A and B are shown apart, each in its own frame.
Chain A
Amino acid sequence: MKSILEIKSLFKSFGGLDALRDINFKINVGDIIGLIGPNGAGKTTLFNCVAGIEKPTQGEIIFTTNGQTTSIAGKKPETVTALGIARTFQNIRLFDNLTVSDNVKIGRHCRTKSNFLRAVLRSKFQREEEKAIAESANYYLDFVGLKGRGEEIASSMPYGHQRRLEIARALATEPHLLMLDEPAAGMNPMESRNLMDLIKRIRDKGTTILLIEHDMKVVMGVCERVVVINHGEWLAEGEPKMVQNDPKVIEAYLGTGAVDAAQAG
């Protein structure tokens, strides 16, 4: 299998605190990978390092698309997005006061190029581009199941819809790798099932997915492989079922005594 993202001995420290220590793993094209670990394990920090929002202290992040290999450690977030990595945020970050369709249109930013002059003159190029932007915004809204809600203000939508909108915005950047930070947080079972379905549909479109998730039902339901980190260190990796029964993982989540209890029970 060809790998799309390869993280090689990644370190990140905030002053004296080591948020990430020697993280190594690989994601293959077309995978759905779960990144799990207890609170404070460094999952979001890892996301931020890949997305370019944090600069890793040390280590390599290799991103491969269309046969091109780029080292993206320390690259700017907008460059990373342009290369084809999109993300969502743990605490939803929408453009709250803009309309739903504007939110998705902004996602198209890195794939379009009209400038000030073209906007003022409303050249043929600009008009066609605007039309294409509007069309693809509709397409992605439709894809995540928000058809016909384009004119609503983003912050006025219910929570589950906001999550979907954030995914639509990320998809609008045409990513090869989509990183979802706790997409199912705060969702009811019905919404999580729809979300799992959506994640699979995104993968079927050819987008590789890396997701952080605490909801084990979602992780078991969609992930093909799971990477576990704890205290900023790589702990285990493998199929969800296998990882779930790994004593080290149970210990990380529930404490030392829990392993015996789990085996006994």
Chain B
Amino acid sequence: MFKLQLKKFDKGSKLRIALLVFALIMTLLPFISDYILHFVILIYLYMILSLGLNIVPGFNGLLDLGYVGFYGIGAYTSGLLTYHFGLSYWIIIPLAFINGAIWGILLGAPTLRLTGDYFAIVTFGFSELVVLLLTNEIWLTRGPLGLPGIDLISIDLSLFGGPKWEFVGEIPYYYLSIIMVLATIFVMHRIQDSRLGRAWFAIRDDEVAAVSCGINLLSYKVIAFAISAAFGAVGGSFFARWVTFLSPDMFKFWESFLILCMIVLGGMGNIWGVMIGAFVLVSMSEILREILPVLGLPVEARFLAFGLIMVIMMRYKPAGLLPIQAVAAQMRSGKVKRKKIKVSVGMKE
């Protein structure tokens, strides 16, 4: 994966080398401490989530405020299947992926006809709905009591006469999360230069022109939404088996907002930027969690800090730390808004 990237010696190659070095350091981390390890796994988890969300606002230019709904669905899919049926995590990953995609289609197919802010409101409503459902359907989810005692991930080779190895401590999760991040990057890269990716970029740039090139807007947006949801659900399935406890308030709206902040901060539409955004915000969150009590402030005050960062970013670097051409240009000209009005009114002479 990284080697492929290094071949092209363009502007971003320095960054990629830096990432490679970073990755090497990361592999050595397990020997430091469990606390740091836990924190790094969290970063990786958010990298998966923000890469997944990136498809919708980054590749398609649609605002999605309900991503955490799919994260929650994935987490509870994983939690419940483990709790009731004791399914292995390796079977749960594809199931969570499919379940996420199904819910993405169910939500996206009727609502992706809406443009811009209206669609964002629907997704916001959806994420609230998921939380309400998880809280109130006590027969299924145990409601606010939460779902404790979810099994750890294990590699069970006893069927083939091999040993059964349970993931105890943070180290195995650490390696698993690295593999999952790499797999996600791999998929995103391949989509990016494919027919599917080009269709999305076309939709992001100009919907009317995209349609006249034969791109079916609705179905491509639904595909994007479903894939994004599927990655959210996979992230959730990992989360459930890692922390082994779920409760509905882990999937509140601010979580969506945080992931959205990550991709805006890093650079919407840019895979590497999005990952940097996840790294920066998760680290900051953890650091502030330590610092704020010392200063005599409540831990929740860290959201103020996030807000401040976003305001500063919007003022000085609106397209993110690693901007891509498309987003930067749209931010410069305010084209996003104008374009949407044109599309909904239709074209006149």
A: residues with CB less than 8 A from B are: 14, 39-45, 48, 51, 53-54, 76-78, 81-82, 86-87, 89-90, 93-98, 102, 105-107, 109-116, 118-120, 122, 126, 129-130, 133, 153, 155, 169-170, 173
B3–chain A nearest beta-carbon distance, Å: 16
- Which residues of the other chain, A, contact B208 by a CB distance below 8 angstroms? 53, 89, 93
A-B residue pair count with CB separations less than 8 angstroms: 122
B251–chain A nearest beta-carbon distance, Å: 26
- Which residues of the other chain, B, contact A54 by a CB distance below 8 angstroms? 346
Known contacts A42-B349, A77-B211, A173-B214: A106-B329 contact under CB 8 Å: no
Q: Are A155 and B329 in contact (CB under 8 A)?
A: yes
- Which residues of the other chain, B, contact A96 by a CB distance below 8 angstroms? 205-206, 326, 329
- Which residues of the other chain, A, contact B338 by a CB distance below 8 angstroms? none
> Whole-angstrom distance between the alpha carbons of A98 and B330 in the complex?
13
Q: Are B191 and A119 in contact (CB under 8 A)?
A: yes
Return the CB mask of B217-247 against A: 1 if under 8 Å, else 0: 1000001000100000000000000000000
Q: Are A133 and B195 in contact (CB under 8 A)?
A: yes
Return the CB mask of B110-152 against A: 1 if under 8 Å, else 0: 0000000000000000000000000000000000000000000
Q: Are B349 and A43 in contact (CB under 8 A)?
A: yes
B: residues with CB less than 8 A from A are: 187, 190-191, 194-199, 201-202, 205-206, 208-217, 223, 227, 324-326, 329-330, 346-349
A254–chain B nearest beta-carbon distance, Å: 20
17 intermolecular pairs with C-beta atoms under 8 Å apart? A53-B346, A81-B214, A86-B212, A87-B212, A89-B208, A89-B212, A95-B206, A96-B206, A97-B330, A98-B326, A106-B210, A107-B213, A109-B195, A109-B202, A109-B215, A129-B195, A130-B195
Indicate which residue in A41, A53, A113, A119 contacts B347 across the interface (CB closer than 8 Å): A53
- Which residues of the other chain, A, contact B211 by a CB distance below 8 angstroms? 53, 76-78, 81
Known contacts A45-B348, A78-B211: A119-B206 contact under CB 8 Å: no
- Which residues of the other chain, A, contact B202 by a CB distance below 8 angstroms? 95, 98, 106, 109
Q: Are A130 and B209 in contact (CB under 8 A)?
A: no
> Whole-angstrom distance between the alpha carbons of A113 and B217 in the complex?
15
B197–chain A nearest beta-carbon distance, Å: 7
Known contacts A42-B349, A51-B212, A116-B223: A109-B199 contact under CB 8 Å: yes
- Which residues of the other chain, A, contact B215 by a CB distance below 8 angstroms? 78, 106, 109-110
Q: Are A93 and B191 in contact (CB under 8 A)?
A: no
Indicate which residue in A94, A119, A122, A169 contacts B196 across the interface (CB closer than 8 Å): A119
Given A106-B202, A109-B198, A114-B194, 5 extra CB contacts under 8 A:
A14-B348, A78-B211, A78-B217, A109-B214, A130-B194
B335–chain A nearest beta-carbon distance, Å: 8
B218–chain A nearest beta-carbon distance, Å: 10
In the A-B complex, the 10 residue pairs with the closest CB atoms: A110-B214, A119-B194, A97-B326, A81-B214, A95-B205, A93-B209, A44-B349, A77-B211, A97-B325, A106-B202
> Whole-angstrom distance between the alpha carbons of A226 and B210 in the complex?
30
- Which residues of the other chain, B, contact A119 by a CB distance below 8 angstroms? 190-191, 194-197
B270–chain A nearest beta-carbon distance, Å: 13
B300–chain A nearest beta-carbon distance, Å: 39
- Which residues of the other chain, B, contact A41 by a CB distance below 8 angstroms? 349
- Which residues of the other chain, A, contact B190 by a CB distance below 8 angstroms? 119-120, 122
> Whole-angstrom distance between the alpha carbons of A102 and B205 in the complex?
12
Q: Are B209 and A78 in contact (CB under 8 A)?
A: no
A63–chain B nearest beta-carbon distance, Å: 15
- Which residues of the other chain, B, contact A48 by a CB distance below 8 angstroms? 346-347
> Whole-angstrom distance between the alpha carbons of A78 and B202 in the complex?
13
Q: Which residue of chain B has the shortest Cβ distance to A179 in the bound complex?
A: B212
> Whole-angstrom distance between the alpha carbons of A120 and B227 in the complex?
12
> Whole-angstrom distance between the alpha carbons of A122 and B197 in the complex?
13
> Whole-angstrom distance between the alpha carbons of A40 and B349 in the complex?
6
Indicate which residue in B191, B201, B209, B329 contacts A94 across the interface (CB closer than 8 Å): B209
Known contacts A54-B346, A119-B190, A155-B329: A94-B206 contact under CB 8 Å: yes
- Which residues of the other chain, B, contact A111 by a CB distance below 8 angstroms? 214
- Which residues of the other chain, A, contact B194 by a CB distance below 8 angstroms? 114, 118-119, 126, 130
A177–chain B nearest beta-carbon distance, Å: 13
B253–chain A nearest beta-carbon distance, Å: 29
> Whole-angstrom distance between the alpha carbons of A170 and B144 in the complex?
56
> Whole-angstrom distance between the alpha carbons of A46 and B188 in the complex?
41
> Whole-angstrom distance between the alpha carbons of A42 and B211 in the complex?
22
A129–chain B nearest beta-carbon distance, Å: 7
- Which residues of the other chain, B, contact A112 by a CB distance below 8 angstroms? 195
Q: Which residue of chain A has the shortest Cβ distance to B328 in the bound complex?
A: A97
- Which residues of the other chain, B, contact A44 by a CB distance below 8 angstroms? 347-349
> Whole-angstrom distance between the alpha carbons of A117 and B290 in the complex?
44
- Which residues of the other chain, B, contact A97 by a CB distance below 8 angstroms? 205, 324-326, 329-330
- Which residues of the other chain, B, contact A76 by a CB distance below 8 angstroms? 211, 216
> Whole-angstrom distance between the alpha carbons of A120 and B213 in the complex?
23
> Whole-angstrom distance between the alpha carbons of A118 and B223 in the complex?
14
Q: Which residue of chain B has the shortest Cβ distance to A129 in the bound complex?
A: B195
Q: Which residue of chain B has the shortest Cβ distance to A98 in the bound complex?
A: B201
Q: Are A173 and B213 in contact (CB under 8 A)?
A: yes
Q: Are B349 and A45 in contact (CB under 8 A)?
A: yes
Indicate which residue in A14, A39, A89, A129 contacts B209 across the interface (CB closer than 8 Å): A89
